[in-house]
Amino acid sequence: MEINLSAKHVFSGTAAGFLVVCCLGTSWSQEFTSNQRDQVQAMLRDVASDVNKHYYDPQFHGVDWDSKVHEAKEKIDKSESMNRALSHIAAALDSLHDSHTFFLPPPRPYLHDYGFQMQMIGDHCYVIRVRPGSDAETKGLKSGDEILAVNGYTPTRDDFWRIEFVYKVLRPQLSLRLNLRTEHSSERQVDVVAKFRELPQVKDATGSGIFDIIREMENQASFMRVRYAEKGDDLLIVKLPAFVLSPSDIDSVIGKMRKHRGVVIDLRSNPGGSVETLRSLLGGMFENKVKIGDRLGRSSTKPLETQSHHHGFTGSLVVLVDSKSGSAAELFARVIQIEKRGSVVGDHSSGSVMEAQHYSHKVGIGTVVFYGASITEADFKMADGQSLEHKGVVPDTLTLPTAADLAGGRDPVITQAALMLNVKISPEEAGTLFPYEWPKE
């Protein structure tokens, strides 16, 4: 059982249209064959069946799910490309307006990198880093540039994820056209060319090629090891990239925390992870068991509590979140708030808090195509009776890096958190504590 690791996967009605329009490009082959169309229809049937069997709300929030599936089937029959056909499956799942229910399309036979990363900070979208040697760097893209539009679409808090999902997952582009506002308020337009690298083709499920693909995807994963920064006995900063720790890893983290009077747990860009990791790590922050909330499943409601630790951390605590903090990261931060165990600093979190399972399938003979869906199996109500889905965690202290901070490599969020624990760290020093590690090409 896990709280889905993915960040917010939500389409509104307008987003479904956005998804379909943006997926009109090159398909896997120049011609969309009848065999490929049949494969997509099989994908739709499997995904629709998974939703019918496992979705936590059998009433689908009042959505006529059968009608949505029938509509997708008809649109697939009329589709002129593989990308467009696949987009109709994604749009059907989108109609449920659920952050953890979404299509997992067949993997592309290549790795794809635009050479830069962007993120919502407050209500603005910024370039947060640029890969050295990339076309983005050559074109002069810099951290701190504000992105006003991506291929003509304006990123907002509600639809930022959609833009990333379409252009990174559903339809990777040869290039992206960015409308930018630089640090000095000048505006310009730039076309950033992506880098593609082919992967070994997988002929069947038992061939070695699938493991090559898995290894490549793991190499490209943004999740990093747990990292630490110390300021004597007064402060430990724990950079936690995801809730996927083993019991021994959790014991190690809590053991390090206990040696310091104050701890900052940095959950920025942490998309969530395992329920058991959440229960165990959160339990290490309290002397007794604490209720996290209620798990509202299809047929029952069950309380979710922390696991007890004999030797937990009892010092002062600050938790950092941002717009990419999701799921278990949001639950962790909100429990700390509700129980008045510490403070939450940073940006408003993503509001992607459900429990889901990934269901995988394959289709084809000879050349096998893998695909699936993430299906929400439970909602969560916090101990205060509120849900974080589509709402997120509001930090106790809102602290946002400016465009100048991003350009200068400064981190005022860690500076603010440390100050609350009576430790002084300059924004310049804070920005050097956890240097970003680009995946190897």
Residue 302 belongs to some domain of the structure: yes
Residues 284 and 413 in one domain: yes
Residues 98 and 177 in one domain: no
Residues 141 and 65 in one domain: no
- Provide the percentage of residues in the chain whose pLDDT is more than 70: 87
217, 222, 192: which is closest to 202 by C-alpha? 217
Tell me: the pLDDT tens digits for 58-69?
Answer: 999 999 999 999
Instruction: Sort strands 369-382 and 262-266 into parallel, antiparallel or unpaired.
Output: unpaired
Flag the least confident range among 105-109, 113-117, 410-414: 105-109
- Split at pLDDT 50, 70, 90, the class of 6 is very low
Asked whether 2 and 244 are in contact (CB, 8 A), the reply is no
Asked whether 376 and 354 are in contact (CB, 8 A), the reply is yes
Residue 4 belongs to some domain of the structure: no
Residues 254 and 124 in one domain: no
pLDDT at residue 30 in the model? 57
pLDDT at residue 7 in the model? 42
- Owning domain of residue 418: 227-430
Asked whether 100 and 350 are in contact (CB, 8 A), the reply is no
Higher pLDDT, 32 or 321: 321
Tell me: the pLDDT tens digits for 327-345?
Answer: 999 999 999 999 999 999 9
Q: Say if residue 207's pLDDT is above 50.
A: no
Asked whether 26 and 172 are in contact (CB, 8 A), the reply is no
- Provide the percentage of residues in the chain whose pLDDT is more than 90: 76
- Split at pLDDT 50, 70, 90, the class of 438 is confident
Residues 266 and 339 in one domain: yes
Residues 149 and 183 in one domain: yes
Q: Say if residue 209's pLDDT is above 60.
A: no
Q: Tell me if residue 84 falls in helix, strand or coil.
A: helix
Q: Say if residue 22's pLDDT is above 70.
A: no
Averaged pLDDT of the chain: 88
Residues 187 and 330 in one domain: no
Tell me: the pLDDT tens digits for 30-41?
Answer: 588 999 999 999
Residues 319 and 395 in one domain: yes
Higher pLDDT, 21 or 374: 374
